[in-house]
Amino acid sequence: MGENGQAGHINVVFELKIDSKPNGEQATKYANWLWAAHPDDVNLLIYVSPTLGRDSRSTIGDERWYCLDYQLLNDKLLLPLLDHPSLNEKVKPFIIQYVKNLKTRHRGVKMAITNEEKRLALALYDRYSDVFDSIYDALMSTGAIDYSTADIAPGKGRSTGRLTVRLDGTVITDDTVRLLFGQVLRYIVDQGDITRIPLPWGPSRTRYVLTNQTPPLHPNGREFFYPVTYKGYAMESHYARDRALKVLGDLCDRLEIGLEIIDA
């Protein structure tokens, strides 16, 4: 309610990023302006970006924004809207077209993937991972693809650049997932944090991240594809950059280590 007792308006601001990274300074400026210009209204700020941090603050540095990626936009907003019984039939074609657009590759990347595609991809990779990994290595070595799904070799797409995180106040930075995970492994071993969890450990039943086995093996018996090792421990580093940071977040939660993603 406003000062005069009348109901205020609802103001919704969307900021969508595709090629550019989230801009914290820009986001804060927008939020400050909206609250200053409409202090009595309900203000809703929604930030859509291909990459997300662990929360709004780590994504854009401002907790007033609700942050989501295009996969969440597809799964949690657009698809449920299409099933809503009161959806305006004149609006429905626009939503359907936008959903189709999200599934079209942009510079080699799909903004949203269907559940059917996920299930099929996981089933195929689980059965033929060696083949897919070999194909990927061959394509990367010849420069046939420029979007990296892992940090085996430097890519030319959005998946390159320095990675910087802070673990319990200690800043760790490097150029690839492999190098970063190597430093993380040394840190958690030297600090004794690794003893807090039973090994081998992984965030899912199909893939381990940490182990003290030699050779390091995943639950299906396959060896770690791209391990980093230190003092008898091994850490899998065969991850896309975004996925690697999520895995690192799961690991830090399990180890009860504070994690802040500074630069991704």
The C-alpha angle 171, 173, 174, rounded to 5 degrees, equals 165
Put simply, whether the predicted model's pTM sits higher than 0.75 gets the answer no
Asked if omega into 80 is within 30° of 0 (cis), the reply is no
What's CA 177's distance to the chain center, in Å?
13
**pLDDT confidence of 204, banded at 50, 70, 90?**
confident
Distance CA(21)–CA(246), nearest Å, equals: 17
Phi, psi of 116 (to 5 degrees): -65, -40
Q: What is the pLDDT of residue 147?
A: 39
Distance CA(90)–CA(86), nearest Å, equals: 11
Is pLDDT larger for residue 49 or for residue 125?
Answer: 49
Q: What is the pLDDT of residue 175?
A: 84
Of the chain, the percentage scoring pLDDT greater than 90 comes to: 43
pLDDT exceeds cutoff 60 at 107: yes
Mean pLDDT in the chain? 83
Distance CA(57)–CA(74), nearest Å, equals: 23
pLDDT exceeds cutoff 80 at 5: no
Distance CA(82)–CA(78), nearest Å, equals: 6
The C-alpha angle 6, 10, 16, rounded to 5 degrees, equals 165
Model confidence pLDDT, tens digit, residues 125-157: 777 877 777 776 676 556 554 434 333 333 333
Q: What is the pLDDT of residue 142?
A: 61
Q: Which contiguous run of DSSP H or E holds residue 159? A: none
**What average pLDDT does the segment 42-56 reach?**
87
Q: What is the pLDDT of residue 160?
A: 53
DSSP state of 74: I
Distance CA(75)–CA(83), nearest Å, equals: 12
Is pLDDT larger for residue 238 or for residue 258?
Answer: 258
Model confidence pLDDT, tens digit, residues 144-198: 544 343 333 333 333 456 889 999 989 999 888 889 999 999 999 999 999 999 9
- Tokens 């492994």 — which residue? 185
DSSP bridge partners of 68: 48
